[in-house]
Amino acid sequence: MTEKRRLLPGLDAPAILREAGKLLDKRVEQPSRRAFLRRGLTLGGLAMLSGCSLSDDESVEHALSAVSRFNDRVQGWIFDPAKLAPTYPESMITRPFPFNAFYGIDDVPQVDEASFRLEVTGMVADKRRWRLDELRAMAQVDQVTRHICVEGWSAIGKWGGVPFSAFLNRVGADLSAKYVGFKCADDYYTSIDMPTALHPQTILALTYDGRTLPPEYGFPMKLRMPTKLGYKNPKHIQAIFVTNTYPGGYWEDQGYNWFGGS
């Protein structure tokens, strides 16, 4: 019988944080992540966190998942909802701004503006569907911030739109809920924590570089969060929902870190 290892009282929490940080890699493919994890099995903290012997692939996957969940909690604990990401002058905008998705640029979805309606459901008071002109009529803000991709590159862009906190207040969202989820026209989906949703730099972006958001950058709208890695910034949003049930995400359900802070 495999002996279960449990977290011991009085364990050095900072040491565990350092070990977990070394073992988490948010961007490489699964086989590489497994190999990386195996190379770190001499670190006792991982086995204690995962509660398993790490002697086979199933145990390794369980351990990786356990440490990733632990990392999510740590990032949530240290996230400062009042701290702003750096902003930049327009002279530093990356042109052209890179296109990035889980498909080629020829497969970018083409959403019809006239028929588009944003669906809002879950723990909100106002569940009516929104037209784009209604969103454009709300107070708008601009930001020039850095997009950081999990693949190792970054670029600076200018996004404009509705502060997401203002939108959530407008629809009467329960701001004590844990999650806000997104469903997109390209079958992408993701979710974020409520403190990030309410961050002053989180915006429902309707424009890029002063013009209507182009299809390749997420038309009709994307969620822009400079406090999150790129894969947490959904494009082509069709539906938003507020919930206390963990919604997961396209990449997160394949092993990527859920919190995804940059």
Quote the pTM value.
0.75
Task: Give the C-alpha distances (Å, rounded to integers) separating 135 from 130, 169, 171, 205, 207.
Answer: 7, 13, 12, 10, 12
What pLDDT score was predicted for residue 121?
Answer: 98
Contact 111, 215 (CB under 8 A): yes
Place of tokens 């086995």: 47
* Cα–Cα dist 43/106, whole Å: 45
- Is residue 122 within 8 Å of 172, Cβ to Cβ? no
Dihedral sign, Cα of residue 147, residue 164, residue 245, residue 177: positive
The CATH class of 90-99+115-254 is: alpha beta
Distance (Å, rounded) from C-alpha 141 to C-alpha 159? Answer: 8
Strand, coil or helix: what is 247?
A: coil
Closest by CA to 40, choosing from 51, 27, 28, 25, is 25
pLDDT at 66: 57
* Rg, the chain, Cα only: 20
What per-residue confidence (pLDDT) applies to 50? 44
**Cα–Cα distance between 128 and 135 in angstroms, integer?**
13
- Are the beta carbons of 255 and 64 closer than 8 angstroms? yes
Tens-digit pLDDT string for the chain (262 aa) = 333 333 334 444 455 445 545 544 443 344 444 444 444 434 344 444 444 444 555 554 555 555 556 566 666 566 677 889 999 999 999 999 999 999 999 999 999 999 999 999 999 999 999 999 999 999 999 999 999 999 999 999 999 999 999 999 999 999 999 999 999 999 999 999 999 999 999 999 999 999 999 999 999 999 999 999 999 999 999 999 999 999 999 999 988 889 888 7
pLDDT value of residue 1: 36
Q: Estimate to the nearest angstrom the gap between the alpha carbon of 52 and the chain centroid.
A: 29
Alpha carbon distance 144, 14 (integer Å): 35
